[in-house]
C-alpha cells in the first residue's frame, strides 16, 4: 500500500509505504527541507467551511493552514 504526501511549500508529492500524518524531507521540486502532509489531510483542508477560515486563508502556506485548522478544531488527526 502506498501513501501520498504533499509538499507544504510547493505542492509536489512523494510516496511512502507507511501512513503517518506528515513527514519531513527535502523536496525534489523546490529544494525546501520541510513538512510533507499526508494527502488525506490536504484533502480535508480543501473542504473546510469558508466562514470558519481566516481572511488570509488563500494566501497561507499549506503548512500554516494545517496548523491553523488544527488550532481551530476544524480537522482531526486520525493517523498517529
User: Can you give the binding site for Zn ion, defined by CB under 5 A?
Assistant: 7, 9-10, 12, 27, 29-30
Nearest approach, Cβ of residue 27 and Zn ion (Å): 3
The nearer residue to Zn ion, 11 or 54, going by C-beta atoms, is 11
The nearer residue to Zn ion, 13 or 53, going by C-beta atoms, is 13
Nearest approach, Cβ of residue 9 and Zn ion (Å): 4
Triad 45, 41, 44: Cα angle to 5°: 40
The nearer residue to Zn ion, 33 or 78, going by C-beta atoms, is 33
SS3 for 79? coil
First to last CA, the chain: 17
Which of 43, 33, 35 is CA-nearest to residue 8? 35
Residue reference for cell 476544524: 74
Nearest approach, Cβ of residue 35 and Zn ion (Å): 10
Amino acid at each position: 500500500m502506498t501513501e501520498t504526501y504533499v509538499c507544504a511549500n510547493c505542492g509536489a508529492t512523494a510516496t511512502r509505504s507507511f501512513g503517518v500524518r506528515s513527514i519531513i524531507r527535502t523536496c525534489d521540486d523546490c529544494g525546501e527541507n520541510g513538512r510533507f502532509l499526508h494527502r488525506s489531510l490536504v484533502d480535508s483542508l480543501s473542504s473546510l467551511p469558508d466562514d470558519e477560515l481566516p481572511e488570509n486563508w488563500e494566501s497561507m502556506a499549506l503548512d500554516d493552514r494545517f496548523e491553523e485548522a488544527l488550532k481551530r478544531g476544524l480537522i482531526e488527526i486520525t493517523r498517529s
